[in-house]
Amino acid sequence: MPSSTKSSDDAASPTAPHDEWQSEPPTLPDAQVDRGLEQRNSTDPISATVLAIAAQSSCPTEFLKQIAGRWLTSFSADVVAVAHPNWPAPMVLASDAELTRRLDPHRIGNLLAASTSAATACDLPLQPSPDSPLSETLSRSIESTGPDSRNQARGLHVRLMDGREPCAVLLIYADRHVPDVAAQIRQLRQLAEFAGCCRIALHSYRDDHAKQELPVTGIAAGGERALRHFHRDLDVTATAYRIANETRRVLAFDRVTVLVAKGRRLRVESVSGVAVVDRRANAIAAAETLAQRALVLGRPIKLPSSDPLPPQLADPLDHYLEETDVASVWIMPLYQPLTSKATDDDRNRSSAGEVVEPSHADFTDDLFSDAEPIGVLLLESFSEDAEVDPTAAMREIAAEAAMALANSREHQRIFGLRVLKSLGDWFGGRRLPYTTLGLMAIVMLLIAATMIQVDHKIIATGFAEPSGQQNVFARTDGVVKEIYVRDGQQVAEGDLLMRLENADLESTAESLSGEIQTTAQRLTSIRSMLLDPATDAKQSGRMAIEQRQLQSELNNLQSQLDLVRNQLSELQITAPIDGVVSAWQLKRKLSDRPVARGNHLLSIVRTDGPWQLRLEIPDEDAAEIFRASTAEDALKVEFAAASHPESTFVATLQSVSGAARRNAQGATVIDAIATVDPPVDADRRFGMQTFASADAHNGVEATAKIRCGRRSILGSWFGDVADFVHRNLLFYVR
């Protein structure tokens, strides 16, 4: 790294600048510093020095070296460190080698990285060196600052550039004592002024040209870079964001708002310094209303104006000023260039096949305000501005902004732009071979999917149950008094399952028995009297008639008693077949509970016999099932039970209902029954078990796949998609 030396007399007054900067420059706000070197007074010694160094330098590195040497001499510093992203380490210029060796490089690097555009003072720790004369000098010069400051130095650091390549400078002084606070403040101000000038020069150097002003518009070289930023993106929102922020920086307005035409209305697209625009804010709505009313004037206008304004513009202006608290605003309309604005020569060249590029006048000429408006710039100031006419810089900014927005809007109108970009990425450059191979692979897969045949299967759900089972119902009304079985118990045909009780039937049976006994006694008495010889003929005739009546009544009562006894016998519930009782918590559900005739009490199933599946086929797949049933006698079914998901069993479809119904879930289904097939002898030899021997239980859920012939892979896998298209799309157009 280059280094330089100076005398100890120069180092004795670190706060005194060089003779060429003896006069204190005026204090300028940061906004004026960023407006460019061309807006400074030509007699400003700082601007003149930076311009002279920039004119003599051919690259940013040479410029920074010259600036570092100027800082070392002009500010009477002991060490100057300059950081640049392209350098592996900061460049250090020193007038005292001993001080440089005692500095901490890591600490210097952190200070340079943390620098801002405002000059900042800092302290730097020094590595102790008792044998160094410099250490004794430091001890004598800073005794008044305390014992902890013996091994410290004072520094001032500032960032020269805010952008992709931030550069920073650090000044280090061995003597930390500053006798005058005003002198330190003056030094920081001069440091900030110098940094502002260097920042503009570095912006120009990073673009590798444009160290002078633009001759037509008066925008500085740093401003030309801002104009180029307008065209870095073809997205409308991103372009508006760059226009707002770069315009505010170049023209030094307090705030810039960009409105873009959406149909016949203007919409705030970006506000400088704001990442997200709240479109519901009152200030945003007021800005849109004011710009919409002012756009009819067809020219740039500054508001408030000394000229009287129509009520259509005065009222929105008052509301806008009240909501935003701005003092003045420039309204710059932006127009789309029209072919009718070209001259006759341009028309002739265009008709001859030559391309005529639009000029800046096409966007900013006030005489052609009948062109299509594409946006508005609001240049806002919170202080009064003496300008009454738009400057050349403002017109140039408006022209570039109009061009950028016009290009972005035109780019956004392209139909299928994202698809076309994606296709261009895949079919252009080095990706073309890979894309071609991918398309060929897809075509081959489609051909294979069309040619290869697979088993087409329909998915159905349901449950498994034994084929041999019978439900037990109550044959008469009664109350369950005794239950003799439990769930899972093996019973034989005729075994007593439970006993019901019906008090009315028992009372009726007793009453009928009494009546039968009384009638039988009367009938016996009449028969005895008829056999008596003492009974006269007339009385015997009456008794014979009564005998016939009593006999008929006795027969009727006997029939009623038989019927009641038959009903009483039905209170005894017996097993209809051999099997296993299937009823969960039977005693809890039925014990001492009244049941009516026809109520289901329990089921008797034969688990050792054949099993069957009760399936629900989706209605949309029913046609495929019927077609396959017509082509084949018996369709094979593969199913897996919920209790045995690791095993697959085989069944044969027996019957399919011809009517659809809605199940409990509200879906339209077709009922079907399939018989579970026993394993063949070969399966038994390999140890395969039947579904009945796999500890299956009644009502287990099952998921079945019904084979419906063979289809191509494409038709089998994507048949649902084809059906959906035919049913919901092609049905309405064919």
Domain closes at, from 603, 620, 652: 603
Specify the amino acid at residue 210: A
Supply the pLDDT for residue 461. 93
Which of these three, 568, 584, 603, is where a domain ends?
A: 603
Rounded distance, CA 734 to CA 728, Å? 11
* Model confidence band, residue 376 (pLDDT cutoffs 50, 70, 90): very high
**Residues 178 and 128 grouped into a single domain:** yes
Are residue 659 and residue 711 in the same domain, yes or no?
Answer: yes
Within 663-712, strands assigned E span 668-676, 700-712
Task: Look up residue 468 and give its two tokens.
Answer: 């041999």
Give domain status of residue 37, yes or no: yes
Burial of residue 372 (number of CB atoms within 10 Å: 0-12, 13-18, 19+): exposed
Residue 227 confidence (pLDDT) above 90: no
pLDDT at 38: 42
**Domain membership flag for residue 348:** no
Which has the closest alpha carbon to 17: 189, 195, 200, 196?
189
The answer to whether residues 597 and 613 belong to one domain is no
Is the model more confident about 169 or about 256?
A: 256
Same domain, 127 and 111: yes
Same domain, 332 and 473: no
Query: Which of residues 544, 571, 603 is at a domain's end?
Result: 603
Residue closest to 515 by CA, chosen among 572, 553, 541: 553
Q: At what angle do helices 311-324 and 282-294 cross, to 10 degrees?
A: 150
d(CA 82, CA 112): 8
Name which of 123, 94, 92 is nearest 6 in CA terms.
94
CATH number at residue 621: 2.40.30.170
Q: Are residues 478 and 405 in the same domain?
A: no
Please check the confidence at residue 360 and state whether its pLDDT lies above 90: no
Given a cut of 50, is residue 39 above it in pLDDT?
A: no
457: β partners: 707
Average pLDDT, the chain: 77
pLDDT bucket at 627, cuts 50 / 70 / 90? confident
Does one domain contain both 533 and 678? no
Say which residue, 141 or 391, is predicted with more confidence: 391
Position 337 pLDDT exceeds 80: no
Work out how many domains the chain is built from and give that number.
4
DSSP 8-state symbol, 363: H
User: Are 582 and 633 in a shared domain?
Assistant: no
Percent share of the chain, pLDDT over 70: 77
Q: Classify residue 611: in a domain, yes or no.
A: yes
Cβ–Cβ under 8 Å, residues 283 and 271: no
Give the whole-angstrom CA distance, residue 10 versus residue 18.
9
Task: Single out the residue of 522, 595, 519, 500 nearest to residue 561, CA to CA.
Answer: 519
**Residue 675 resides in a domain:** yes
Q: Would residue 136 count as lying in a domain?
A: yes
Does residue 622 lie in a domain region?
yes
Query: Do 78 and 121 reside in the same domain of the chain?
Result: yes
Asked, for residue 669, whether it belongs to a domain, the answer is yes
Say whether both 190 and 276 belong to one domain.
no
Say which CATH number the domain at 114 has.
Answer: 3.30.450.270
574 bridge partner residues: 496
Domain with 599, as residue range(s), is: 469-603
Condensed to tens digits (0 to 9), the pLDDT of residues 229-272 reads 888 888 899 999 999 999 998 888 899 999 999 988 999 999 99
Q: Is 617 found in the same domain as 599?
A: no
Does the bond joining 26 to the residue before it have cis omega, within 30 degrees of 0?
Answer: no
- Looking at the structure, do residues 153 and 200 belong to the same domain, yes or no? yes
Q: Which amino acid is at 734?
A: R
pLDDT of residue 515: 87
Of 3-7, 227-231, 389-393, the poorest mean pLDDT is in: 3-7
Helix, strand, coil content of the chain in percent (nearest 5): 45, 25, 30
Question: What CATH number does the domain containing 302 carry?
Answer: 3.30.450.40
Average pLDDT over residues 623-631: 85
Model confidence pLDDT, tens digit, residues 110-136 = 888 878 777 777 877 777 654 444 334
Mean pLDDT along residues 643-660: 88
Residue 693 has pLDDT above 50, yes or no: yes
pTM over 0.75: no
pLDDT at 342 over 70: no
The distance of Cα 387 from the centroid of its chain, to the nearest Å, equals 48
The answer to the question of residue 718 being in a domain is: yes
pLDDT beyond 80 at 536? no
